[in-house]
Every structure is written in structure tokens, then in C-alpha cells.
Amino acid sequence: MNGPDLPPFKERFPWWGGDLQTLATALLPGARDVGPYVSERRRFTLADGDILFASLDQPIDPRAGQPLVILIHGVPGSESSPYIIRMARYLLMRGYYVLRLNLRGAGESRAHCRKQYYAGSSGDIVELLSQLPPELTRSGVAAVGYSLGGAILLKYLGEQGSRTPICAAISVSAPIDLLDASRNLTSFRNSLYHWYIFRRIKREATAKGAELTTEERKAIEASSNLLEYDDRFTGPRNKYKGAADYYEACSAMNFLVDIRTPTLVLAALDDPWVSGSAYSSFYWRSNPSLSLVPRLPAHGGHVGFHGVGFDRSWSDLAVAGFLRSVRPFDAWQ
């Protein structure tokens, strides 16, 4: 499938290289909320009693026939992550309703969840979609996932195939090969990134609301890096033998061939967190439902894409362009 018609990405001064592109997403000034747009708090109770909270953002001038767009954050992140706020505001300007989701155990959902989201949390997407009211879904539903949120979304789409009600999807900088991504993030080169991310992961996993056994809490505290954390906690907690078993079972790459929803996959070869080798090794033309824009960009970093000639992230433009190009928004029915 063809993606949106955009000029090739070219990084802009002073954000040269994958590291600066990645840091720019957090460092560049931007809105902290979606005002003046109105937001409404929504809650979705899962079958096991955990509660997901989300913000439903309402456009000032809704445009008929456009889908509700669900935005799914990465790790660590929430509905208030800078890239989520930025994307929401751009879509609201274009007349879309937007649902900014806090995954299980993230953001406002943290205090209301005993468990924690992970790469295999695709079942939570199934439950969320089943609870969306008809007034929000009459023109269909699209989804955009960032980083780990993108990996969860791709896994969900592959598992559901043609059964999913989602009619358009986009992943941005998703770690589609979990073992490769874990090794990459824990490398010496990425020590500072890992220190920052891993500290927040452990803090979130043990925050108020989390239900942990004594052994699980000790496993979290004893883990010195992400690979150990997934081997001692994430894997066993979710009924996998360890990190290797968890990574093999939940890597989005294993589900790409079964995706039947028009899906845009966006990543950069210089992403310091997610190696481009996983993307380069997959034969994208094997599945006509998948598209890259325009092909794997050499630059852009992780959830970056701050480019020459654009007043916003190039990935935001790609998302909006893809949503315009995919029109079968009757999939919900």
C-alpha cells in the first residue's frame, strides 16, 4: 500500500543526528495540554478489574466522516507525553476527535491498575475497543502507536487480522524486535538513555496501585538493567519463562505478515534506541497492507523527525497524510 505523498525527510539545524533528533522531542518548546480544545475524562474497566483512563479531546470544528483517533504512548510515557500532546493538537486542528490513552499502569491509570503494561498487552486494546460508545465510532476508529505503544498496536493488528474494527493504523519508532531493542538500549553507547528510562520503568512498576508479591518486588529491585528486569519480572509475571521467551512470543515482527489493516510503519535508521536492522530485514512488500514512508529514512532518531521546511514533526505530517489517504471508515460496522 502507498503511504502519504511527502517529500523525503531532511533533518534540520541544530538537530543533526539520531541523538539530537531524539532529544529534540523533549527539549523543543511545546504546549503542555490541548487547550483551547475541551477534554473529557473517560475510564475503561478491564475484565480483571484494572481501569484504564484516557482523555477524549474534542475538536472545535468537527469534520464529518473522520474517524476517532486513538493515540498510544511509549515507555515511559502517558497521555501527556510531548509527542502525544503535539499529535493530538494537530489532529484536533484538522477536525478529528482524539482519545489519548494511558496504558495499564501508566499516567493516571497507574493508581487504578494492579498490573503493568508490556509488549504483549494487545489484549488491553481488544477490551478498550469493545467499550467505545457508538457515538464515537460511527465514522470508524484509527490508532497511532509510538515506540512500545506502536509495538503493542502492531501485535494487536496481526493477532486480529481482518477481525479488527480499526480501519487505519500508524506505528512510529516501534521496537519490532524486542531482543534486538533490549540489547541495543543496554549497550554502553546508550548508557545515559538506559539509566533515564530504566529508572522510570522501575519507579512506575512499584508505584501506588501496583500489586506485587514480595518476590516480584525483590526481582525488580535487584535488576540492574532492562534485560534482567524482563528476565526476572516482566517475563515470569506474564507467564513466560524469562526474557528470551517473552521477547520471542511478543515481538511485533512475528505478527506483521498477518496484518490486514492499512498500516503505516515509520522508523529511522539512526534511531539510537531501536536498531534499523530489524526493519531492514523484513520484506515489507510481502504484505500489501503495510507501507513505509517513503522508505526507511536515514535520519529522524526515536520519535523525532524534526525536519527542514516543516513547522512540526515530519511524522505528524505523515500520520495526518496517511489518515487522509485511507478512507474506508465503515470497518466498525
State how many domains the chain has.
2
Cell 511478543: give the residue: 250
Same domain, 238 and 274: no
User: How many Cβ atoms from other residues are within 10 Å of residue 106's Cβ?
Assistant: 25
Q: CA separation (Å) from 314 to 21, 53, 71, 325?
A: 11, 29, 17, 16
**Residue 120 placed within a domain:** yes
Domain boundary among 250, 277, 303: 250
**329 vs 138, residue with greater confidence:** 138
* Model pLDDT for residues 136-146, shown as the tens digit of each residue: 999 999 999 99
Same domain, 152 and 270: yes
Same domain, 203 and 105: no
Q: What is the mean pLDDT of the chain?
A: 94
Q: What angle separates helix 243-250 from helix 178-185, to the nearest 10 degrees?
A: 130
Is 310 strand, coil or helix? coil
Whether the pLDDT of residue 9 is over 50: the answer is yes
Burial class (CB in 10 A: 0-12, 13-18, 19+), 290: buried
**Residue 330 placed within a domain:** no
Same domain, 116 and 149: yes
Same domain, 122 and 239: no
pLDDT at position 30: 85
Is 284 strand, coil or helix? helix
Is 61 within 8 Å of 116 (Cβ atoms)? no
Same domain, 159 and 182: no
* Model pLDDT for residues 86-134, shown as the tens digit of each residue: 999 999 999 999 999 999 999 999 999 999 999 999 999 999 999 999 9
Range of the domain at 223: 178-250
Same domain, 84 and 34: yes
Whether the pLDDT of residue 224 is over 50: the answer is yes
Domain boundary among 229, 250, 271: 250
Torsion-angle region of 270 (φ positive above 0: left; ψ -120 to 50: alpha; else: beta)? alpha
* Model pLDDT for residues 230-265, shown as the tens digit of each residue: 999 999 999 999 999 999 999 999 999 999 999 999
Same domain, 239 and 266: no
User: How many Cβ atoms from other residues are within 10 Å of residue 282's Cβ?
Assistant: 17
pLDDT at position 266: 95
pLDDT at position 2: 56
pTM: predicted TM-score of the whole model, two decimal places: 0.95
* Model pLDDT for residues 291-304, shown as the tens digit of each residue: 876 578 999 999 99
Whether the pLDDT of residue 333 is over 80: the answer is no
Which CATH number covers residue 294? 3.40.50.1820
**Residue 4 placed within a domain:** no
**Residue 7 placed within a domain:** no
Same domain, 140 and 229: no
Torsion-angle region of 86 (φ positive above 0: left; ψ -120 to 50: alpha; else: beta)? alpha
Domain boundary among 250, 280, 300: 250
Same domain, 184 and 49: no
Strands in 290-292's sheet, in edge-to-edge order, are 38-45, 51-58, 98-101, 68-72, 141-146, 166-172, 263-266, 290-292
